[in-house]
Structure 1
Amino acid sequence: MDCEFQIAAEMRSALLEDRVCDVEAVFLQNGAYPPDLVWDPEVEQIEDSRLRQLRDYWRAKAGGAPAAPEHMIDPAEMRFILGYVMLLEVLEAGSDFRYRLYGSLIAERFGRDVTGQTVRQFGDSEYIVNFFLATYQAVSTTRRPLLSVHYPRPGSQTASWSRLILPLSDGRGTVSRLLVGQIPGEWRPRPPGATPTAF
């Protein structure tokens, strides 16, 4: 196993086994507040109206199936959240994920556009990259939507990130892509001399 992403494998197992405390421990060890995690979120559990609308859109396209067919997803129908949408391609049975679309407003807050890159290329073995990889792997495996709200460390200029991860399937019923809505929280002033960071 790739030692650099061992933490991702451990968090993925924790997510699949509902061992939330193990995921929380990784955040606490890195000086960050533990994330809020909700499988199969109901509307009232999703604070942001755009994410609620995205969930309803995905459910309508899924028609009761565990994953919505990827060919049914039309960006023109998602104007309500454009700029805050990511589309990830599943690579090597979920070993990695490529950003086919990285919302312009996410890129603006993050400070760069990672379209075309993979999650593993996104950064190094930072805990948050491992967390992203673990959540995407868990959703691909379970075919269940996951709502994640995490709170970056104090040095970050973003107070929180809310992500709704939704599975999409190909013609064979395999989870081939992930539709992700990601909404940043409030801006925080950057401490003098601190390196800009969003996560």
Structure 2
Amino acid sequence: MSSCFQIAAEMKSALLEDRIADLSMVFLRNGAYPPDLAWDPAPGHFEDGRLGQLCDYWQTKANGAPAAFWKAIDPTELRFILGYVMLLDVLDGGADFRYRLYGSLIAERFGRDVTGKTVRDFGDAEYIVNFFLATYQAVTEARRPLLSTHYPRPESQTASWSRLILPLVDETGAISRLLVGQIPGEWRPRAPGTNPPAF
């Protein structure tokens, strides 16, 4: 296992074992604030009501089960969060994840559309790619919703990104996809002549 993938595995373990201080150190070493994290988020955790509504929608489709059936998700019922939804395919049991759908408004804020790419091919700062991979792997393994808000480095144009990650099962009962709502925070104008990362 390469050092990059080992870091993701360590971050996943920290998430599953609620060792948030260990995960936070990765962000601090990279000049970013530690993320806010909540398993099974309650209504009071959502700063943006659209993520709370998405969580309610998923819970309704799950009908008391640990995860909703992926075919029960109807895109026409997600108009309230249109443009801020991602759908990821779980590859090789969670070794990687492919962006089947990458919301148009997320792509607009991020500066590129990564539909069809995998998380490992995301092409951003290594620490944040590892964080994305770790959160998706943790949700796949735990079969629980996870709400995360991370705060990009000061040179980023986006002050924060809030993501609600929801597991979806297939006919075999395996977690085969993830439904993700992602909402950007405050916009920070970019200084002339600079092109900083979005994350």
Short-chain TM bin: over 0.9
CA shift, 1:189, in A, is 1.7
Q: Percent identity?
A: 75
What's the TM-score once normalised by structure 1's chain length? Answer: 0.97
Question: Contact 2:32 / 2:152 at 8 angstroms: preserved in 1?
Answer: yes
User: Unmatched 5+ residue regions in structure 1?
Assistant: none
- Distance in 2 (CA, whole Å) between partners of 1:181 and 1:124 is 19
CA contact (8 A) 1:5 1:125 kept: no
Name the SS of the counterpart of 2:41 in structure 1. coil
Q: Is the 8 A contact 1:87 1:102 kept in 2?
A: yes
TM-score, normalization by structure 2? 0.97
The Cα of 1:125 is off from its aligned counterpart by 6.1
Checking the alignment, whether the CA contact within 8 Å between 2:88 and 2:179 is kept in structure 1 is yes
Q: Which residue of 1 aligns with 2:78?
A: 78
Alignment of 1:94-109 (within 5 A): 94-109=94-109
Deviation at 1:188, TM superposition (A): 0.5
Shift of 1:2: 2.7
Contact 1:140/1:167 (<8 A) preserved: yes
1:8 corresponds to which letter in structure 2? A
Please name the residue that 2:144 is paired with. 144
Deviates most, 163-172 or 120-129: 120-129
Alignment of 1:1-199 (within 5 A): 1-123=1-123, 126-199=126-199
What do residues 41-63 of structure 1 show as CA deviations (whole Å, max 9, x unaligned)?
01111111100100000000000
Kindly report the root-mean-square deviation, in angstroms, between the aligned alpha carbons of the 2 structures.
1.0
Q: Distance in 2 between matches of 1:33 and 1:94?
A: 27
Unaligned runs of 5+ in 2: none
* Separation (CA, whole Å) in 2 of partners of 1:26 and 1:142: 22
Deviation by residue 1:48-91 (Cα, 9 ceiling, x = unmatched): 11001000000000001000000000100000001000000000
Deviations 1:111-155 (A, max 9, x none): 000000000010266100000000000000000000000000001
Does the aligned pair in 1 maintain the 2:124–2:197 contact within 8 Å?
no
Note the C-alpha offset of 1:197.
2.0
CA contact (8 A) 2:35 2:151 kept: yes
Q: 2: distance between equivalents of 1:123 and 1:21?
A: 26
CA distance in 1, matches of 2:193, 2:6: 32
